[in-house]
Copies of this chain bind each other. A is one copy, B any other.
Amino acid sequence: MTQKKRTEIAELGEFGLIDHLTKDFTVTNKNTLRGVGDDAAVIKAGREDAVVVTTDSLLEGVDFDLTYFPLKHLGYKAVVVGVSDILAMNALPEQVMISIGVSSKLPVEALDDLYEGIKFACDELGVDMVGGDTTASMTGLVINITTIGRAKRKAITYRSGAQFNDLICITGNLGAAYMGLHLLEREKRVLKDVQNPEPQFSGYEYLLQRYLKPRARKDIIEALAEEKIVPTSMIDISDGLASEVLQICKASKCGARIYLDRIPIAKQTSALAEEMHTDPVVAALNGGNDYELMFTVPLAMQEKVMSMGLVDIIGHITRESTGAYLVTPDGGDIKLRAQGFKEE
């Protein structure tokens, strides 16, 4: 008997796995403007418009822990996760579809909480809930979100458009959500056997909010439109800065230099990192869950983009041959690496 070859998923990593699985697929439909490889697929919709579609899964035990993740927040976050991908195409979200796999052990009231959060996010972001389904799950809660948006075709921003010397801009600050998650995990561990646990979150409320109730940066897309800025490339920061910079470099066939001391990090992020003896920059680079936006603009737009008052310039695009690096304050270069296949 011949032994069948067995390759572990970890050998390829998450992105290597996606590349491997999708390499034989080709696009043949004239209405498919962009397939695999960006934050969302792009589909022709009339003469000037395009519809953008993205799908995301959230799995209990991997993407969330119901011990400390309130269902209302989870519903809200599910919508934000999908909407963030749409915004990263420089498009505005319009519809969302939610599929849930749910154990019959969960009462209807728990699902009411989940859907209350979904509705809150839909109302806030101007999105219609247009479908989905419910299935029985033998195990944990499974949530899938399909999000649909729209943009003028000429405004759509891909990962692949970054040019030599472009400025790399990011919104908000990074690493806060990841530190919030660590805080929640610590308190869960510490209070495991306590009867009426009273977790200690004082002083770190912002971090919890960033993890449990991230906001989608629709304001950025609206501000860019108002300033008539169309970025050359864009991506949302869901897997950590390092991974996103590498995605832009891969798609745009370029390199990048990110300056460590320009990465915006909130005070609470630094404070908790110090308390936990970790580096807040590592949280920013690899933590993920930020749902901020990273985009590139031509050097000539520096003043215009800074006048928005909403972004930080953290580096610039280089030639592909020079690679993607983090530059430390003492001038050292650290090669950027993406995280592997997420597994808790």
Mark A residues whose CB is within 8 Å of B.
4-12, 14, 17-18, 20-22, 24-25, 27-29, 31-32, 34-38, 40-41, 43-47, 49, 51, 53-57, 59-63, 94-95, 97, 99, 101-102, 104, 106-109, 111-112, 115, 119, 122, 126-140, 142, 144, 146, 148, 150, 341-344
Contact = CB atoms under 8 A, between A and B. Distances in A.
Given A99-B55, A99-B57, A104-B9, A342 B135 contact: yes
Nearest to A101: B59
Contact of A101 (B57, B146, B148): B57
4 cross-chain pairs, A with B, having the tightest CB-CB distances, nearest first: A46-B46, A41-B130, A45-B45, A61-B138
Would you call the interface of chain A mostly helix, strand, loop, or mixed?
Answer: mixed
Contacts of A49: 45-46
Given A29-B127, A55-B133, 14 more contacts: A7-B108, A9-B108, A10-B104, A22-B115, A29-B94, A29-B126, A34-B130, A35-B131, A36-B129, A43-B51, A43-B95, A54-B97, A136-B343, A139-B140
Nearest to A59: B101
The residue among A21, A25, A54 with the most chain B CB atoms within 10 A of its own CB is: A21
